[in-house]
Amino acid sequence: MSIVYIGIGSNLGNREENCERAVALLGTNGIKVLKRSSLYETEPWGIEEQPEFMNMAVEAETGLEPERLLEVLTDIETTVGRKESKRWGPRIIDLDIIFYNDLILKSSDLEIPHPGIKDREFVLKPLSEIAPYKRHPIFKKSIKQLLEDLYNIT
């Protein structure tokens, strides 16, 4: 079994309900949620002219390989109501693999650890609540350190 960290976000419809539904669906798809963060209201990133997000993170255990996990997360997004949209645009739900054990993977469909994590408070803050000492396999810093670094820059 592998330990994965998944980022969850929503800025359309009932944002809290969308996130809660996604967490519930993880458990019915071979992904056992071990820890979950609080919900955080965050400013949009990438495209600023859109509603604020609700973001959270979960730590989970799964036997799914990374590519299959991505497929399952995409299916959950569809079930919750996500439609195709422009990159970084508004969405009902967004599920991202942040970490998969300490795997470093880059393919045409998937990059782990999730790129841009060190610049995204909406990922680091919920993740620091459930895994402050999880070390980023590339940057060799804990989530807590990455969040502190981000706060020192802004």
Is residue 150 in some structural domain?
Answer: no
Express each pLDDT in 67-113 by its tens digit: 999 999 999 999 997 777 655 556 789 999 999 999 999 999 899 99
Is residue 104 in some structural domain?
Answer: yes
Is residue 152 in some structural domain?
Answer: no
The answer to whether residue 15 is catalytic is no
Is residue 103 in some structural domain?
Answer: yes
The answer to whether residue 94 is catalytic is yes
Q: What are the counts of helices (DSSP H) followed by strands (DSSP E) for the chain?
A: 4, 7
Is residue 76 in some structural domain?
Answer: yes
Catalytic-role residue among 96, 102, 109, 135: 96
Amino acid identity for residue 72 in this structure: V
| Whether 60 contacts 79, CB under 8 Å | no
Domain that holds residue 75: 2-116
Q: What is the CATH number of the domain that holds 51?
A: 3.30.70.560
| Whether 32 contacts 42, CB under 8 Å | no
Is residue 110 in some structural domain?
Answer: yes
Total tally of structural domains belonging to the chain: 1
Considering only CA atoms, which of 101, 97, 121 is closest in space to residue 111?
A: 97
Is residue 127 in some structural domain?
Answer: no
Catalytic-role residue among 15, 21, 36, 91: 91
Is residue 137 in some structural domain?
Answer: no
Distance CA 79, CA 93 (A): 10
pTM: 0.91
Express each pLDDT in 45-74 by its tens digit: 666 676 788 999 999 999 999 999 999 999
